[in-house]
Amino acid sequence: MRTGAALDPGRINTFGSIQNPTFQARTKPPQCLKRHSFLRFPQRNRTGRWISREGDSRSLTCEVKAVLDTVRADEFSSSVGNPAVSTSYRNPNFRRPNQTVWEAQGKVCTGPTQTRPLSEEQAFKVLDTILRSARGELKDDEDPVSKSQLGAFFAAMTIRANTFPESTQWSEGERLAMNYYWPQLMQALSPDIIFLADPEGSLMGTGSSVGPQFVGNVPSEMRLVGALREVLAGGHLGYEEVQGVLKDVLPLKLQDLGSDSVSESLLSAFLIGQRMNRETDRELKAYCLAFDDELGPAPVADVKSLTHYGEPYDGNTRFFKSMLFVAAVRSCYGESCLLHGVDWMPPKGGITEEQMLRFMGANTHLSPSQAKQLLEDAEVGFAYVSQREAHPSLYADLTSYIVRILFQLFLIGYACFYLLKFLRIYIFCILWIEIRKW
C-alpha cells in the first residue's frame, strides 16, 4: 500500500545516493522495521467513500508501520547525528561566525519593527571585536569576523539610521560607540566596508570621501554597488535591476574566490538589505526567475495535486516538527507531497526534515528529476529534495554568514505573496455577497 511505502525508510527515496552512498536507503526494511503493531486509518472518508487510489484493487486497509525497536547505532553511519543534537549536523566546511557579532546581527539585521537596538555595553563590545578582528588581534578562542558578517552588520546599521522608525534607529549607546570607534575602524577596514557603513560620507560625521567615490573593486561589482546605494537608502529596485545584479554574481563560487569575484561583504549587504526593506513582488519575481535561468526549469510532476512543505529552513528548536509526518499521511490519501529544505542552517540551527530523514536511513540526495518519479509513483507520492541538489549555488557557504536572512524566502515568497492577495480578494467578495444578501 502507498502508506507503508511513504513511511517506511526502506521505501522512501530509494534511488541510489548521488553524492554520499552512506545515506542510500535500504531496498528491504531492516530488522527493526518488522511488523510489531499497526496504526489503522479509517476505511471510509466523511462522504462514505472507500479510501483507495483509483484503479487499486488491493486491500483497502491502510497500515502504517510503527517502529518500536530502538535502531542500533551500528545500522547508521557515524556521520549521521542524533536529531536531538542539531548542531552535530553543522557542515564542517562552514567556518564558524564570530559569536559576538552574530548575536548583534540577530538584533539589528531584521525588519523596521522587529529590530532591537544594541545597548551601550553591547555596541562597544561589538565594535571592539570588529576592530580587533580587522587588526588581527583576536584571542585564540575567538573566531574572526568574516567579510559577510561585516557586510550584513554595517548595511543593517546604515539602513536603520536612514529609513527605520525612531524606535528602531540607533540607540544613544550605539551612537556613542560608533563615534568612539569609527576613526579607528576607518584605518583598519577595507573600502567596501567603509562604503557600506557610510555610503554618502555624512552618516558618521567625518566627511569621508571613501563611500561617495567607491565604485567597486572589479567590473562585476559596479552594477552591485549602484544597486546597493538605492538599497542602503531604503529604496527598492526594479525587476530588470535585480536580474542584472544576479546575472553578475551567479553562480556563486565562494570556494574559489578569484580576483574577478564579487566581494562577500557587498553581496551579503545586498541580500540583507533587500530583506530588511521588505522586497516587492517585482524583486521576488526576479530572484525566482534568476535561479530558473541558472539551472533551467524544474521538472513538472504529472499528479492531480501537489502540496509542498519547506518552512522554516533553519528548523525547529521549541516545537514538535510535524511536517514530515503530515506530508507522509497526506500522501496515503492520494495527495502527493514534496518536502524541501537543508540539513542545517543558522541562526536557529534547529531540527530539520533532512536531519530526521537521514536519521531514519532515507536518501536525502535526490535530484529534482528523481523526486518527480517518486511523486508520480502510485505507491509513494512523497519525496524530499535538498537545496543542496536543487540549487547548489544557494547552498554555498555564504548562507552560513548571512544571519537573519533566509534566502529561501525568495524562492517561495513570490507564490505566497500572490496567494495572500488572492485570499484577501476572495474573503472580501464573500463578505460583500453576504452583506448584499442581508
Give the tens place of pLDDT for each residue, 67-107: 333 333 334 344 445 555 555 556 666 678 899 998 999 89
Cα gap 323→321, rounded to integer Å: 6
Mean pLDDT of 176-198: 95
pTM of this structure:
0.63
Mean pLDDT of 279-300: 81
Query: Which of 353-362, 396-405, 411-420 comes out lowest in average pLDDT?
Result: 396-405
> Which is higher by pLDDT, 375 or 61?
375
Cα gap 350→85, rounded to integer Å: 9
pLDDT of 424 over the 90 cut? no
> Which is higher by pLDDT, 388 or 150?
150
Cβ proximity of 382 and 3 under 8 Å: no
Q: pLDDT band for position 392 (50/70/90)?
A: confident
> Which is higher by pLDDT, 28 or 274?
274
Tell me, rounded to whole angstroms, the distance of Cα 383 from its chain centroid: 19
Cα gap 325→322, rounded to integer Å: 6
Query: Which of 272-286, 305-319, 373-387 comes out lowest in average pLDDT?
Result: 305-319
Which ranges of 98-206 does DSSP label H, i.e. alpha helix? 99-108, 120-135, 147-163, 172-188, 191-197
The reported pLDDT for the residue numbered 31 is 40
Query: Which of 72-86, 188-202, 242-256, 308-322 comes out lowest in average pLDDT?
Result: 72-86
pLDDT of 320 over the 90 cut? no
The reported pLDDT for the residue numbered 434 is 64
Residues 6 or more apart whose Cβ sits within 8 Å of residue 188: 131, 134, 135
Say whether the peptide bond before residue 251 is cis (omega within 30 degrees of 0). yes
Q: What is the mean pLDDT of the chain?
A: 75
pLDDT in tens, 138-180: 988 899 999 999 999 999 999 999 999 999 999 999 999 999 9
Residue among 270, 273, 352, 346 at smallest CA distance from 103:
346
Cα gap 231→224, rounded to integer Å: 10
> Which is higher by pLDDT, 256 or 404?
256
DSSP 36-57: S-EEEPPSB-TTS-B---TT--
Mean pLDDT of 368-380: 90
Mean pLDDT of 54-60: 42
Q: pLDDT band for position 59 (50/70/90)?
A: very low
Q: pLDDT band for position 324 (50/70/90)?
A: confident
Mean pLDDT of 398-417: 47
Residues 6 or more apart whose Cβ sits within 8 Å of residue 194: 186, 208, 210, 211, 214
Mean pLDDT of 399-425: 51
The reported pLDDT for the residue numbered 11 is 43
Mean pLDDT of 44-61: 42
